[in-house]
Structure 1
Amino acid sequence: MRDSNRLQRLQQRPLWDFALALYAKPGVEQACLTLQDEAGIDVCELLFHCWLYEHGLAADPGSLKAIQEERYRWQQQVTATLRELRRTLKPQAAHNDDIKALRATLQKAELQAERENLQRWQQWALRSSVEEVRLTKSDINQHNVAQWLQDTLFSPPLDKRLSKAARVRENTQMALLALASQLDHCESPR
């Protein structure tokens, strides 16, 4: 893909800045936590796809596989480990100021790990080249964003992956709809 206007706009709004702004919108934090905790979604990848969508772009599925595996390892080995430690200490922190301070340190480290992960997603996207097309123009209709996110993030499809847990599937779909409602549809450059 060689759409210099879209790529330039992508470079001008770093993924981290986009993620912070989106996360602050009503319902997005809860939607992201639901998708992370109930459906096992990597929120950094989710935010990456939302960032691309808002710029009228999508990641090429063929090129995406290697970076997904790399970023998944980071999430599991670094971010999820910090998150689990922080969550494990929550009950103790209610009665112990030292543990409370430790949790705050772990939370800062977890946030920094997520920031690093988002920076790596961004670097990957911006290194798209003629030899390796990583990004394509998105033709996603604003009304189909939730379904597109679902299809992009769930392989196998959500219905097969969560077939035994109707409540989780419903919560996941509602979270995707809530998130999609907060995304701005990219207008074609003039």
Structure 2
Amino acid sequence: MKLHNDLWDYALQLYAKPGVESACLQLQQEWSLGVNRLLFCCWLATEGRALQAEQLSTCEASQWQHSTTEPLRLLRYRVRAQRQHEPELELCYQALRQAELAAEQVELAWLFALGRDWPVVASVACEDLLLQNIGQYLCCEGIEPEPGLLAVLQVLVQAAAGPVPARRVLQLQW
């Protein structure tokens, strides 16, 4: 496993763009979507690769996400709430944030290893592939298209692919 890889670098750059962190956290909190999965879908499109959703649900990264990353996040949320009344918990909270970030890096390393050898789809534009990948992921998660979700996805898509016309995302179906 290679922790420092192209997907990790890409994820850090995309996540740092204006509005992306907030959009990703909203997608995670309101629709229970995996931020790393969304970033993976975007990265795959820049690489010219289509998401192979059937492999995504059974891969090491998914097992890691459920067994490690999500429990760390829930614990961090619990400590975050408690530290409002117990400021002494700040060091514990910060340690949990670092542990969660390290777990996310492991998850992205497994996603990188999974997707780097998928075939390149030369005949599909990056913007189209990006919308296709995200649509496939959302379909696998059982998420229905709805205006609020699509509006938040617009922020991520435009940060990843440039000025994608809003109507393309808002009309996204899967």
TM value normalised by structure 1: 0.71
Give the fraction of aligned pairs with identical amino acids, expressed as a percent: 32
Indicate the structure (1 or 2) with the bigger Cα radius of gyration. Answer: 1
Distance 1:77 1:121, change over 3 A: same
Matched residue of 1:25: which SS? coil
Q: Structure 2 counterpart of 1:154, which letter?
A: C
Residue-by-residue CA offset, 1:67-88 (whole Å, 9 max, x unaligned): 2xx3222112111111111111
2:51 matched residue in structure 1: 59
2:81 and 2:56 map into 1 onto residues whose CA distance is 39
Structure 1 residues 140, 151: closer, same or farther in 2, change over 3 A?
farther
RMSD over aligned Cα, in angstroms?
2.6
- State whether residues 27 and 149 of structure 2, in contact with CA within 8 Å, keep that contact through their aligned partners in structure 1: yes
Cα distance in 1 between the residues matched to 2:158 and 2:53:
24
CA distance in structure 1 between the aligned counterparts of 2:29 and 2:65, rounded to whole angstroms: 13
1:130-149 superposed matches below 5 A: 134-137=118-121, 139-140=124-125, 142=127, 145-146=130-131, 148-149=133-134
- Distance (whole Å) between structure 2 residues aligned to residue 91 and residue 64 of structure 1: 32
Cα displacement (A) at 1:23:
0.4
The count of residues paired between Structure 1 and Structure 2 equals 158
Asked if residue 152 in structure 1 is aligned to residue 114 in structure 2, the reply is no
CA distance in 1 between counterparts of 2:56 and 2:149 reads 23
| Aligned CA distance change for structure 1 residues 96 and 63 (closer, same or farther; 3 Å) | closer
Deviations 1:38-86 (A, max 9, x none): 111111111111111112222334544432xx32221121111111111
Amino acid at match of 1:119: A
- Structure 2 length normalisation: TM-score? 0.77
Gap runs ≥5 in structure 2:
163-174
Q: Which runs of 5 or more residues in structure 1 are unaligned?
A: 1-12, 129-133, 163-168, 186-190
Query: Who is 1:181 aligned against?
Result: 158
- Distance (Å, rounded) in 2 between the aligned partners of 1:99 and 1:73: 29
Partner of 1:85: 75
- Could you tell me how far apart the structure 2 residues matched to 1:107 and 1:157 are? 29
